[in-house]
Chain A
Amino acid sequence: MLSIKNLHARVAEKEILKGFNLDVKPGEVHAIMGPNGSGKSTLASVLAGREDYEVTSGEIIFEGKNLLELAPEDRAREGIFLAFQYPVEIPGVSITNFLKTAMNEQREYRGLSPIEPKEFLQMMKEKKALVEIDTNLTNRSVNEGFSGGEKKRNEIFQMAMLDPKLAILDETDSGLDIDALRIVATGVTQLKRPDNACIVITHYQRLLDFIVPDFVHVLFEGKIVKSGTKELALELEEKGYDWIRKEVASL
């Protein structure tokens, strides 16, 4: 589904990703962990097509297409979804209007007619239940005045509505208390299917108690230095990132 080869990327003249490789197949959940400044959020930004990040070499192939040639909106329409670490407030645009527009723009790209209002409302109702969002929230402007937990739940709600092939969760656990974490993680787990995949970017292991990864990768100074299964995450939690630092230094 996704193949990243020897990816180098920089922001404001500073090279952050230095030869990043990753292969994601349908049905898989990959966790990417790493200390602050290792390049986790840069990876998410490059995948979603944020313009201030410059890819200097390497390639990203998604479903047979060169992702780096696609505008952010076309990446979304091809089936990529980024759950933002810091969801943006958009005063004056209601969640309902925003999602209906997004959904119909994606449908148009796939040659489908706009969604029937009734079907849309039914879908909203179902997906709201999934992340325990109450109706008042969806009548409000996108993220405006939302608490940290509401913002993150709203990201997963959008993910549920847009049904992407590949979801990238960028530190979705940051700033969440344990109850919100559980709701968000349960939502993500319920959306898992054999034909979709998920990349979970996180600093801490605790999210992975709820979203169990098939693979765990440790990102350090712009590339993956260690890969393993979910046990690797536990090891990191126990020993901290210094252990990795030492191991890399000794190579």
Chain B
Amino acid sequence: MLETLTGIDLKEKLLADYSLQKSALLLDNPMIASFRENAANAFRKQGFPSKKHEEYRYIAMDKFLRKDYNHPLSASSPTIEKLPESILVDSEAYRLVMVNGFFAPSLSLVPEGIEGFTAGSLAEAIRNKNVTALTHIGTLSNPDADPFLALNSAMFADGIFIHLAKNIVVEKPIQIIQLTTSDEPIFIQPRVLVVVEDGAQVTLIGLTPETQEKQDIFINTVTEVHCGKNAIVHLVQAYDHKDVSAVHHTEAHVHTNGNFSHYAIHLNGRLVRNNLNIVLADSHCEAHLFGYYHPTSDQIFDSHTLVDHRMPHCESNELYKGVVDGNGTAIFNGKVYVRQDAQKTNAYQSNKNILLSEEATVNTKPQLEIYADDVKCSHGSSTGVLDPEQMFYLRSRGITTPKARALLLNAYAGEILEKLPSEKLRNTLTELLLEKYSA
């Protein structure tokens, strides 16, 4: 097909791997095999998206895919021996570390012997025939909906599995750290499956930090979150790695009285595409979506979010803010569906952008589709520059232009960062941002 010509070599290479690497892909399990087969077909049909693909029209994906990527299907011997302390929000809290998409037990700190609380390698959970993992994997996502989702479903080789049984409350945040190390370009596909049963509570902090090696790295991640009745889940996904191109597809289903909060923080990366789909599947659910992005020279940060209100008395609240500098590009596409049964819905969505240079680009598209008649919904977007009156006021007190800019940008980002469920993370990110402002 003409429109799928982009990255065609990589496509063929990956599909060849799919046919050959049956054991790495856990295909001996018939459930996984049929799920994979379906996904592989969906990817074969769709291919990588070109600019003709409506959902990817602002990204020249080809540029990020035309590299001679290696596609590791097994864990390399770990060349990372120690975690950088600075990225830990709590050195005593549980952490799940992946190296090139594979769970790294030696770097991780996992719960042991706690009834109803499992966290570790997804591949291992599947190999051990963990019933929760097997009955939940892939159930939220339809591979026909997106080519990257299809590709990950067909070919993820490991990732993270977290399971909290009924009423299990994990007090400290669990960190999910994605490290990369390679002396050649790599294309990696981790999968994260989170099952939070009724009444359970957890905070997950995902981070892809900068690493030493300067290589082309493409990370195609899929995260699935099951948020049970009365469950509370916070999920942070932060990217701060200059050489990474990332597509992260997140699919969350929230059930009665459940509360799901998602925080997308994009500080560095060549490309960060955040596909976030949240389904409010029952009544009285809440979803909170916060985003902050700061692309500078050549960086493209793109968030496509969808909140699907299916049942009555639910609330969703979305605020995405960004600052675009240099010739960076920010894209925001936010959809809110309020279906016919979703009466008494409260849905708010807002996207705000500040442009710091003449070459900066923002494409923003808030969309609201309402099929119910008794709802409160609003959406809006704005794009502007730093307020010259505020700048003048600060300068008139002796504050230099760069410092004044940093003060205002810090306040602007603060509205999002103050929502983060970890103070240490907030401080770390604030410092990283201050570096970016003064660059």
Q: Is B395's beta carbon under 8 Å from chain A?
A: yes
CB contacts (< 8 Å) of A101 on chain B: these are: 399, 403, 407
Nearest B-chain residue to A91, judged by Cβ: B411
Q: Is A156's beta carbon under 8 Å from chain B?
A: no
Q: Is A162's beta carbon under 8 Å from chain B?
A: yes
Contacts A90-B408, A101-B407, A105-B400 given; indicate if A73 touches B395 (C-beta within 8 A). yes
Q: Chain A nearest CB: distance from B387 CB in Å?
A: 8
Determine if B399 and A87 form an interchain contact, defined as CB atoms under 8 angstroms apart. Answer: no
Determine if A76 and B390 form an interchain contact, defined as CB atoms under 8 angstroms apart. Answer: no
Q: Chain A nearest CB: distance from B274 CB in Å?
A: 24
Determine if A72 and B396 form an interchain contact, defined as CB atoms under 8 angstroms apart. Answer: yes
| Partner pick for B392 among A50, A81, A91, A92, CB 8 A cutoff | A50
Q: Chain A nearest CB: distance from B199 CB in Å?
A: 36
Determine if A162 and B396 form an interchain contact, defined as CB atoms under 8 angstroms apart. Answer: no
Contacts A49-B395, A92-B410, A102-B394 supplied; 5 other A-B pairs, CB < 8 Å: A76-B395, A82-B396, A105-B399, A109-B398, A142-B393
Q: Tell me, in angstroms, the Cα distance from A142 to B414 when the chains sit together.
A: 15
Q: Is A158's beta carbon under 8 Å from chain B?
A: yes
CB contacts (< 8 Å) of B437 on chain A: these are: none
Q: Chain A nearest CB: distance from B416 CB in Å?
A: 11
Nearest B-chain residue to A76, judged by Cβ: B398
Determine if B392 and A105 form an interchain contact, defined as CB atoms under 8 angstroms apart. Answer: no
Residues of A within 8 A of B (CB): 48-51, 71-73, 75-77, 81-82, 84, 87-88, 90-93, 97-98, 101-102, 105-106, 109, 141-142, 158, 162
Determine if A88 and B414 form an interchain contact, defined as CB atoms under 8 angstroms apart. Answer: no
Q: Tell me, in angstroms, the Cα distance from A75 to B396 when the chains sit together.
A: 8
Q: What 0/1 pattern do residues 386 to 421 of B give for CB contact below 8 A with A?
A: 010110111111111101100110111011000000
- What is the size, in residues, of chain B's interface with A at 8 Å between Cβ atoms? 22
CB contacts (< 8 Å) of A50 on chain B: these are: 392
CB contacts (< 8 Å) of B396 on chain A: these are: 48-49, 72-73, 75-76, 81-82, 84
Determine if B389 and A73 form an interchain contact, defined as CB atoms under 8 angstroms apart. Answer: no
Q: Chain B nearest CB: distance from A159 CB in Å?
A: 10
Chain B: interface secondary structure?
helix
Q: Chain A nearest CB: distance from B174 CB in Å?
A: 30
CB contacts (< 8 Å) of B390 on chain A: these are: 88, 90
CB contacts (< 8 Å) of A158 on chain B: these are: 397
Determine if B398 and A92 form an interchain contact, defined as CB atoms under 8 angstroms apart. Answer: no
| Partner pick for A162 among B387, B398, B404, CB 8 A cutoff | B398
Q: Tell me, in angstroms, the Cα distance from A75 to B398 when the chains sit together.
A: 7
Q: Chain A nearest CB: distance from B401 CB in Å?
A: 7
CB contacts (< 8 Å) of B414 on chain A: these are: 92
Contacts A101-B399, A105-B398, A106-B398 given; indicate if A93 touches B407 (C-beta within 8 A). yes
Chain B CB count within 10 A is highest, among A82, A92, A162, for A92
* Shortest beta-carbon contacts, A-B, top 6: A92-B411, A76-B398, A102-B397, A88-B393, A106-B398, A72-B395
Determine if A76 and B412 form an interchain contact, defined as CB atoms under 8 angstroms apart. Answer: no
Q: Tell me, in angstroms, the Cα distance from A93 to B396 when the chains sit together.
A: 16
Nearest A-chain residue to B401, judged by Cβ: A73
Q: Tell me, in angstroms, the Cα distance from A101 to B411 when the chains sit together.
A: 14
CB contacts (< 8 Å) of A76 on chain B: these are: 395-398
Q: Chain B nearest CB: distance from A34 CB in Å?
A: 23
Q: Chain A nearest CB: distance from B321 CB in Å?
A: 11
Q: Tell me, in angstroms, the Cα distance from A76 to B393 when the chains sit together.
A: 11
Contacts A76-B398, A109-B398, A162-B398 given; indicate if A98 touches B389 (C-beta within 8 A). no
Q: Chain A nearest CB: distance from B152 CB in Å?
A: 38
Q: Chain B nearest CB: distance from A111 CB in Å?
A: 14
Q: Tell me, in angstroms, the Cα distance from A98 to B396 when the chains sit together.
A: 12
Nearest A-chain residue to B415, judged by Cβ: A92
Q: Chain B nearest CB: distance from A235 CB in Å?
A: 33
| Partner pick for B394 among A71, A90, A92, A162, CB 8 A cutoff | A90
Q: Tell me, in angstroms, the Cα distance from A72 to B401 when the chains sit together.
A: 10
Q: Tell me, in angstroms, the Cα distance from A142 to B390 when the chains sit together.
A: 10
Q: Tell me, in angstroms, the Cα distance from A51 to B414 when the chains sit together.
A: 29
CB contacts (< 8 Å) of A72 on chain B: these are: 392, 395-396
Q: Tell me, in angstroms, the Cα distance from A71 to B402 when the chains sit together.
A: 13
Q: Chain A nearest CB: distance from B257 CB in Å?
A: 33
CB contacts (< 8 Å) of A75 on chain B: these are: 396
User: Could you name 26 residue pairs across A and B whose Cβ atoms are closer than 8 Å?
Assistant: A49-B395, A50-B392, A71-B395, A72-B392, A73-B399, A73-B400, A76-B395, A76-B396, A81-B397, A84-B393, A88-B387, A90-B390, A92-B414, A92-B415, A93-B407, A93-B408, A97-B407, A98-B397, A98-B407, A101-B399, A102-B394, A105-B399, A105-B400, A106-B398, A141-B411, A162-B397
Q: Tell me, in angstroms, the Cα distance from A76 to B396 when the chains sit together.
A: 6
Q: Tell me, in angstroms, the Cα distance from A162 to B397 when the chains sit together.
A: 8
Q: Tell me, in angstroms, the Cα distance from A37 to B40 when the chains sit together.
A: 74
Nearest B-chain residue to A90, judged by Cβ: B390
Q: What 0/1 pattern do residues 12 to 41 of B give for CB contact below 8 A with A?
A: 000000000000000000000000000000
Q: Tell me, in angstroms, the Cα distance from A162 to B390 when the chains sit together.
A: 18
CB contacts (< 8 Å) of A77 on chain B: these are: 398
CB contacts (< 8 Å) of B401 on chain A: these are: 71, 73
Q: Chain A nearest CB: distance from B65 CB in Å?
A: 39
Q: Chain B nearest CB: distance from A7 CB in Å?
A: 19
Q: Chain B nearest CB: distance from A193 CB in Å?
A: 20
Nearest A-chain residue to B404, judged by Cβ: A73
Determine if A102 and B398 form an interchain contact, defined as CB atoms under 8 angstroms apart. Answer: yes
Q: Tell me, in angstroms, the Cα distance from A81 to B397 when the chains sit together.
A: 7
Determine if B398 and A90 form an interchain contact, defined as CB atoms under 8 angstroms apart. Answer: no
CB contacts (< 8 Å) of A71 on chain B: these are: 395, 401
Q: Tell me, in angstroms, the Cα distance from A81 to B395 when the chains sit together.
A: 11
Determine if A88 and B389 form an interchain contact, defined as CB atoms under 8 angstroms apart. Answer: yes
Q: What 0/1 pattern do residues 139 to 171 of B give for CB contact below 8 A with A?
A: 000000000000000000000000000000000
Contacts A76-B398, A82-B396, A109-B398 given; indicate if A90 touches B403 (C-beta within 8 A). no
| Partner pick for B412 among A51, A73, A92, A97, CB 8 A cutoff | A92
